[in-house]
Amino acid sequence: MRILEYIEAIESGKNKVNTKAVVMTSPGELSLREVVLRDLAAGDVVVDVHYSGISTGTEKLFWNGKMPPFPGMGYPLVPGYESTGEVVSADKSTGFKPGDFVFVPGADCFSKHVRSLFGGAAKRVASPAKRLIKIDSTMGVNGALFALAATARHAIAGFGNKMPEVIVGHGVLGRLLARLVILAGEKPPIVWETDPLRHTGATGYEVMLPEVDQRSDYECIFDVSGDSGILDKLIGRVRKGGEIVLAGFYPERLSFGFPQAFMKEISMRVAAEFLPEDVATTKLLIEDGSLSFDDLVSDVLPVEKAEEAYNIAFNKSECLKMVLDWRDAA
């Protein structure tokens, strides 16, 4: 359906509108199919999606069938919470207008026949205006990284504000954390990465295998590896009174040996979803050119190749970030 026809359908009260979406039907299985947008509510903004990122954290767990029980989750599911696109319909009271470019952090907007707690991997979505973030249209495909950048900012800005001396994992989130630490004027962190293919792309900081670094007196370590069995190793690397920050997402129950943690009197905290102040700060850093997204999106495929894109994103470590291109989707 063309944008003009879509707007006419909304304005005429015909709220039942079909759109294309990626639908995960079971572990390892997905297809591109038509879904139905729910009835629009007051304050909803309709967005024509241009790009949607594929998360190698939570979405990979769904793909592998390893997602822990979580409210609102299950199959069939429309994935995606890293979408950018153009507003096609919005009431003046929302503060948005047609032509605005926005970041959509997921959109629970489809009929009861599919779960859409994520819901961003679709040609068109509807979202309450308060969830949308206005971005510059020139960001293009890099706009899909906004949530990861805000998440990284949240991790280093909250609860005591200890900056990491070590970051575990050199994926997109690890790279953004390292860039933000340097932007804050702190000593560049060391990044531990077990995959040699991901040792490239560091500017102003060092990436190494964990075993190369023999220190065991770090003040603060951030883990973004998603390795459920890593805690004992990290506890052994912090000083007495040190802190471990869990900023990844873990498929299995976390546990650790208590005696070592007891003797060191360590602290642990979990960094989760970004807050409005993280969004505001991240926007400023992007807009003034301080925070670069260069070299973070490694792969872009048209949505018609969604199955191939998900397989590459989850199975090839050289794929740093996969983004789906919806602009020419029928």
What's the mean pLDDT in 150-165?
Answer: 86
pLDDT at 232 over 60: yes
In the numeric block, which tokens belong to residue 56? 């190698």
pLDDT value at residue 3 = 43
Higher pLDDT, 70 or 127: 127
Nearest to 123 by CA among 11, 248, 23, 247: 23
- Rounded to the nearest 10 degrees, the angle between the axes of helix 276-287 and helix 146-157 is 120
Handedness of CA 237, 240, 246, 251 (dihedral sign): positive
pLDDT value at residue 12 = 46
If pLDDT is split at 50, 70 and 90, which confidence band does 127 have? very high
What's the mean pLDDT in 77-88?
Answer: 96
The distance in angstroms from the start CA to the end CA of the chain is 8
DSSP 188-221: PPEEE-S-GGGS---SSSEEE-GGG-----EEEE
pLDDT at 228 over 50: yes
If pLDDT is split at 50, 70 and 90, which confidence band does 13 have? very low
Angle at 315 between CA 76 and CA 172, to 5 degrees: 95
What's the mean pLDDT in 277-294?
Answer: 93
> In the chain, which residues fall in CATH 3.40.50.720?
148-270
> In the chain, which residues fall in CATH 3.90.180.10?
3-134+298-325
pLDDT value at residue 10 = 46
**Residue 163 and residue 97 in contact, taking contact as beta carbons nearer than 8 Å:** no
Q: What is the mean pLDDT of the chain?
A: 91
pLDDT at 117 over 70: yes
Higher pLDDT, 119 or 14: 119
Strands 133-134 and 101-104: antiparallel
CATH number corresponding to 148-270: 3.40.50.720
> Residues 183-200: pLDDT tens digits?
999 999 999 999 999 999
pLDDT value at residue 51 = 98
pLDDT value at residue 2 = 42
- DSSP letter for 68, please: P
**Residue 220 and residue 228 in contact, taking contact as beta carbons nearer than 8 Å:** no
pLDDT value at residue 159 = 56
For 3-134+298-325, give the CATH class: alpha beta
State the Cα–Cα distance between residues 71 and 241, nearest whole angstrom: 35
**Residue 118 and residue 79 in contact, taking contact as beta carbons nearer than 8 Å:** yes
Confidence (pTM): 0.90
